[in-house]
Structure 1
Amino acid sequence: MSIKILHTADWHIGKQLHKIDMAPDMELFFDWLLLCIQEQNIDVLLMSGDLFDQANPSQAALTQYYKFLKRLIPLKCKVIITGGNHDSAHVINAPKELLQILEIKVVGGIPENIKDLFVEVNAHGEKVVIAAVPFLRDRDIRNAAPGESYSDKIELIKEGIAAYFKSVNDYYNAHYGTTAYIVMAHLFAQGASISDSEREIQIGNQASVVSAVFGEEPHYVALGHIHRPQMVSKPSVRYSGSPIALSFSEKKDIKEVVLLTVTGDKVEFETVAIPKFRKLVTFKGTIEEVEAKINTYESNSQLTDLAEIIIEEENENIAHVKALENLLTAEVDNKLQILKGSIQFKNAVIGTSKLLSKGEDIKDFSAVQLFQKRLQQDESVSNSEELIHAFKEILEGLETTEVIE
């Protein structure tokens, strides 16, 4: 027989989407995950960081986490959880000793001894070793130097990440030889497709790493941080993605976990789709078109679907703005809840911010100069000198009025 492992990440327990609590979504995911573990006879569950959405999770989020672990215990599935950039190492590690007794290993932050990252799993006559590397914080991988430049900092972080994974692989080579080897990591890998819900890490993701940083030793790299499921450079380096959509940019994503099968020194993997418990939808068009789409919307989701509205109209009109406000506050049936909306006018008056080039400051321009810039952007204007003259007269009139008052 083989050892079976599930790779998942980015649960973000406690997440709210525009003040909508996603706890019901997580509970349904946990129900599905427990059933998947039973049906697939999973031996090990990996969770590669961002267990919680906040460093200091609410009591409700902690309760949901511990209740899930309690339900998992009878399945005799070993669990390995690492901390992500959203997590507090202290919070993750707080129940460490107790959870260890229950075959649940947590690594909230970098341990003092690198050997404490490694978990050896023996089952069904097979063996696999897992390096549970959490999110590498700045202080874990480099020493700040006085007077270092921004670019220096980026390079030092990249070098620090590479050096740490080399030390992990060196330990593996020294103690485990050719045993099947899996590395967990929580970081931003170059080439990954992001969504709107990831928080930037390591100075704006500029210190992203190439997949070569993991070396040739790992048979599989179980990544966390990016919420879209995807491989990076090669199939064995993979983000499992978040189990539920955490922003409207993820509304079309197919969420999944990765099922690993370990036989000897060979690791095979396949993806298993997670069912959608609710839909995130976007209604786009004129006021009339959006109203029609909302009124005819149908859903078979277990939970209430969540919607955003994008209104597109030709000309600026206060009535359109009012209509959008009415849509956002209107009572809709229990199959749909509208969370946010925006309105775009194709012929909108251009604001001053759009008149300026990069590096220009509005404070450096007079009202007449800004008016000139606006005229230059409108090719239909043929009498710009006359308009500028008229504009100056209006300004002079305003100044005279102020003096009289």
Structure 2
Amino acid sequence: MKILHTSDWHIGKQLHKYDLAEDLNLFFDWLISYMKTEAVDVLLVSGDVFDQANPSQAAFKQYYDVLRRLVQLDCKIIITGGNHDSPAVLNAPKELLKAFDITVIGGAPEHISELFVAVEKNGEKLVVAAVPFLKDRDIRKSVAGETYATKIEQIKAGLQTYFSNINLYYQENHSDTFFIVMGHLFVQGSAVSESERDIQIGNQAGVSAHMFQGVPNYVALGHIHKPQAVSEEDYIHYCGSPVSLSFSEKEDQKQVNVLTVKNQHVDNITIVPIPKQRNLLAFAGTLEEVQQQILSYAKETALISLVEVIVNEETESLERRQAFETFVNEQPNPRLQIVKSRLTFANKIRGASEAFAVGTDVADVTPMQMFEKKLELQSGLHNTEELKAAFRDILQELDL
């Protein structure tokens, strides 16, 4: 039996207002071709199917288009919700999708037994605990007046208890079957990028890899966009996002993980690289240096390369600002699209603009970054961590 692990599609994602739908379409074309050629039996999608809790009509269309193509393959599909997904949105068509052998678990169900999906293919048996992103209310009871530290410890304990109960249910009901656990969470020691939204209090409630107790044969994780194994035993994996979602991922080789199961054991875990269709680039220096770098860039890719420009000048002047803006707006190289730009000067400007570097676009600053900067500028505060935690709770409730 062949099982393909992918996650963090983030359908509807824009990189600094540049739509990445084409990137995903090319990935889906490649994925379906690979699955057909390699006769993949099970597809696991470990959360963050959509980039927003309320996807656009274009995002919905892309989602259903890829599902329509996938159901033409002889493949069991299991999809779980992530912290970007709305459980209600993902679950809305789940009964209809069952008819096409697609199991969707958008949020934590009432009973753990509802997470378990049994699959039998090519004489092999598999059981999957399809665990979605677990919200605060799924794993603990909040108490008025609790401290920041108490909340973190309770979340960690709640996650550990939840996954211990999953292992217990497996051992009592499916102990002779190959076992995969899906999850969407932060495991301590994982390398993160800029594009993951903070999960469970800014990732500080991340759990140890030991939480899984060595019971599953494979743990198929989502949330972290950099592909990596996070256990010495090499059974806990983030496959990462299929396309680069931030400039911090520009050097990443994206991948899917393919498990081959034989006689109820892992015969092989294959890391399959995803062809890169677009380059993300960062050019820094003086305006003249950056201009030269951009004009001399000549690499060809299937999709236009996206660029982050950081111009550093010694002396502030209106002329330099105007020259910078003109250059960025002209988009001088047809192989490139400048989607993020920043102009900084060695001499500091006093006043409100001190909060961020000169030239920083408000669209490039997250609400959390803005709040943290405000706290830095506010003297005399001693409970900044509690304030940050409260603000993160607000952002999570608002899905920001």
TM-score (norm 2): 0.86
Which residue number in structure 1 is paired with residue 114 of structure 2?
116
CA distance in 2, matches of 1:175, 1:232: 27
CA distance in 2, matches of 1:253, 1:151: 34
CA distance in 2, matches of 1:149, 1:349: 38
CA distance in 2, matches of 1:50, 1:11: 6
CA distance in 1, matches of 2:17, 2:378: 35
Alignment of structure 1 residues 1-150 onto 2, 5 Å: 3-150=1-148
Which residue number in structure 2 is paired with residue 304 of structure 1?
304
Which residue number in structure 1 is paired with residue 236 of structure 2?
237
Alignment of structure 1 residues 128-207 onto 2, 5 Å: 128-207=126-205
Q: Residue 48 and residue 359 in structure 1: after superposition, are their counterparts in 2 closer, same or farther (change >3 A)?
A: closer
8 A Cα contact 1:14 1:57, kept in partner: yes
Q: Report the residue type matching 1:344 in the other structure.
A: T
CA distance in 1, matches of 2:296, 2:62: 36
Post-superposition offset of 1:318 = 3.0
CA distance in 2, matches of 1:223, 1:140: 18
CA distance in 1, matches of 2:123, 2:133: 32
CA deviations 1:84-103 (Å, max 9, x no partner) are 00000001111111111101
Q: Report the residue type matching 2:132 in the other structure.
A: P
Post-superposition offset of 1:146 = 2.6
Q: Report the residue type matching 2:173 in the other structure.
A: H
CA deviations 1:209-252 (Å, max 9, x no partner) are 11111121111110000111011133211101000000111111
CA distance in 1, matches of 2:74, 2:306: 36
CA distance in 2, matches of 1:241, 1:360: 36
Runs of 4+ in 1 over 6 A off after TM superposition: none
Aligned residues with identical type, % of pairs: 52
SS of 2:342's equivalent in the other structure is strand
Q: Residue 281 and residue 148 in structure 1: after superposition, are their counterparts in 2 closer, same or farther (change >3 A)?
A: same
Alignment of structure 1 residues 307-318 onto 2, 5 Å: 307-318=307-318
Q: Give the aligned length.
A: 359
What root-mean-square deviation, in Å, do the aligned CA atoms of Structure 1 and Structure 2 show?
Answer: 1.9
Segment of structure 1 superposing worse, 165-174 or 212-221: 212-221
CA distance in 2, matches of 1:189, 1:363: 34
Post-superposition offset of 1:336 = 1.1
Post-superposition offset of 1:344 = 2.8
Which residue number in structure 2 is paired with residue 398 of structure 1?
none
Alignment of structure 1 residues 212-291 onto 2, 5 Å: 212-234=210-232, 235-267=234-266, 268-291=268-291
8 A Cα contact 1:180 1:264, kept in partner: no
CA distance in 2, matches of 1:126, 1:196: 40
CA distance in 1, matches of 2:379, 2:143: 37
Post-superposition offset of 1:359 = 6.8
> Which ranges of structure 2 fall in alignment gaps of 5 or more residues?
356-372, 382-400
Which residue number in structure 2 is paired with residue 330 of structure 1?
330
Post-superposition offset of 1:203 = 1.2
CA deviations 1:242-297 (Å, max 9, x no partner) are 00000111111110000111112312312100011111111111111111111111
Post-superposition offset of 1:171 = 0.6
SS of 1:122's equivalent in the other structure is strand
Which residue number in structure 1 is paired with residue 398 of structure 2?
none
8 A Cα contact 2:124 2:264, kept in partner: no
Q: Report the residue type matching 2:240 in the other structure.
A: G
Q: Residue 360 and residue 121 in structure 1: after superposition, are their counterparts in 2 closer, same or farther (change >3 A)?
A: closer
SS of 1:68's equivalent in the other structure is helix
CA distance in 2, matches of 1:144, 1:28: 44
SS of 1:192's equivalent in the other structure is coil
> Which ranges of structure 1 fall in alignment gaps of 5 or more residues?
365-405
CA deviations 1:20-78 (Å, max 9, x no partner) are 11111111110000011011110000000000000000111011100111111111111
CA distance in 2, matches of 1:322, 1:105: 55
8 A Cα contact 1:324 1:341, kept in partner: no
Post-superposition offset of 1:180 = 1.2
SS of 1:75's equivalent in the other structure is coil
